Amino acid sequence: MNHTPARDVALPANDQSDGPIAAAWEQVRAGLRRDCGARTFDGWLRPITLGEFDHDSATVALELPSQFMADWVQTHFADRLSLAWRSLLPSVRQVVIRAGGDGARAPALSEIPARSEPDTPSVAEQKGLYAAQLEPRYRFETFVVGKANEVAFNAARTLAGAEQVAFNPLFIHGGTGRGKTHLLHAIGHEFRTRRPGAKIIYMSAEKFMVEFVAALRANETIQFKQQLRSADLLMIDDVQFIAGKESTQEEFFHTMNEIISAGRRLVISSDRAPQDLDGIEPRILSRLSWGLVADINQADLELRLNIIIKKLETLPDVKVPDEVVMFLAKRISSNVRELEGALNRIAAYATMSGRAIDLDFCGEVLANILRANQRRISIDEIQSRVSDHYRIRKAEMTSARRAREVARPRQVAMYLSKQLTPRSLPEIGRRFGGRDHTTVIHAVRQIEKLRAQDPELDSDIRLLTRQLES
């Protein structure tokens, strides 16, 4: 296989005249690339730059952008580098591997080592193994900002573009279809624009898990670790999917530590806040909370209207009346992705059928979507409604009291939460004063049993259900 020639290395000003050193370094680099393979070379050895050559001690200095990388290369390649230098240039008696500058602070964007030919992907990237396959549409310029997402947006833009950031990692959480993935891709685009040679890795947590398991089976875990931990920007999407996967979490934890310790940037996304993630080790949750946690809330009406207007700018041939725009913004409130999908569907059907877009047309084309977007019921609403029905204080829903006049309404509320919301048992338990999921299971079974025996209780639950769904 033909490899891209090693790039030219500029010596420090006081050593520009030392041609043999520079020439030998080019040969050392070419040999390393040939012997170690593209993955290892691109991940760990390409960032090495040639420092000064001390003629008195016959010592050549090789520099890396962080102390972590310098230590890794020292441990794994010091002997090979020394041998390569001595075989090419016997006058070199010693090779020193060190971090550029003080090696202690997080590198600024301008300090991340540039790679040659930034538009040409590495061999590993060409194979699609760890490349940042960024969606061209997902940029900061195309992200519609509102109160629901402005904190996450500003944090993302800061991490992507600032020379130094006061937080690392950035943890973005929010429900499905609210723009988390859009922001991650936007971060990648901005980071790449500001530093074309930076190594960017974007992958879902599921891909992280699959790749790690594959590396274990192929006995290539070292290469896997090298690739991820050498990233200048690592982005992991939907981290909730590693829940319950112990070996994957172990590797994920160490990868996080290495990235953060090396001063590189880490972005994680999830469908819920760190404290609400079930089945993930406490030390990971603590690490995730260590940086900045930014949430993306459900889009309000104003934001949904702005999203539709922005989307219509990309569909100049589609004429959508204002009343239809307002109808869509009001009726499709679950997530932004579904809202955009509904607009695409209307445009496609109108083009194919030749019909004008009006309210009747929307109701016909979007019947299934509109049914699915009927008002969601929250646990808070259930607790309020049940408390009012049984004439107890809402605070009793989360209290430790076990008196029957309090415990039974609390069980009813837990039962309705399980029946009328998509929340998990552990999450329901947390919303009822931090109770265990087994308590929720007991409450659900108890109410199901009592409904069959107690017509009055069954009637109460039917009434509460109708009130909540109305």
Classify 354 in phi/psi space as left (phi over 0), alpha (psi -120 to 50) or beta. Answer: left
State the pLDDT at residue 121: 38
pTM comes to 0.55
Lowest mean pLDDT among 125-134, 169-178, 341-350: 125-134
State the pLDDT at residue 10: 35
State the pLDDT at residue 227: 87
Residues 402-406 have a mean pLDDT of 89
One-letter amino acid of 365: V
227-243: pLDDT as tens digits: 888 899 999 999 988 88
Which of residues 455 and 102 earns the better pLDDT score?
A: 455
Domains 127-296 and 379-469 share a fold: no
Percent of the chain having pLDDT more than 70? 86
Lowest mean pLDDT among 12-21, 222-231, 414-423: 12-21
State the pLDDT at residue 6: 35
State the pLDDT at residue 51: 87
CATH superfamily of domain region 127-296: P-loop containing nucleotide triphosphate hydrolases (3.40.50.300)
Domain boundaries, the chain: 13-104, 127-296, 301-372, 379-469
381-400: pLDDT as tens digits: 899 999 999 999 998 999 98
Topology (CATH) of 13-104: GMP Synthetase; Chain A, domain 3 (3.30.300)
State the pLDDT at residue 375: 60
Residues 14-33 have a mean pLDDT of 74
* Residue from 278, 199, 294 nearest 242 by CA: 278
184-231: pLDDT as tens digits: 999 999 999 998 888 999 998 988 998 898 888 888 888 888 888 889
State the pLDDT at residue 2: 40
* Other residues' Cβ atoms within 10 Å of the Cβ of residue 338: 16
State the pLDDT at residue 312: 87
Largest CA distance in the chain: 97
Beta strands 59-64 and 49-54: pairing type? antiparallel
State the pLDDT at residue 263: 87
Which of residues 42 and 12 earns the better pLDDT score?
A: 42
Q: Does domain 379-469 have CATH number 1.10.1750.10?
A: yes
Residues 436-463 have a mean pLDDT of 91
Under the banding of pLDDT at 50, 70 and 90, the label for residue 378 is: confident
Under the banding of pLDDT at 50, 70 and 90, the label for residue 106 is: very low
Is a pLDDT exceeding 60 seen at residue 110? no
Topology (CATH) of 301-372: Helicase, Ruva Protein; domain 3 (1.10.8)
Distance CA 9, CA 45 (A): 13
Which of residues 69 and 305 earns the better pLDDT score?
A: 305
Under the banding of pLDDT at 50, 70 and 90, the label for residue 108 is: very low
* Mean per-residue pLDDT over the chain, rounded: 82
Residues 345-355 have a mean pLDDT of 85
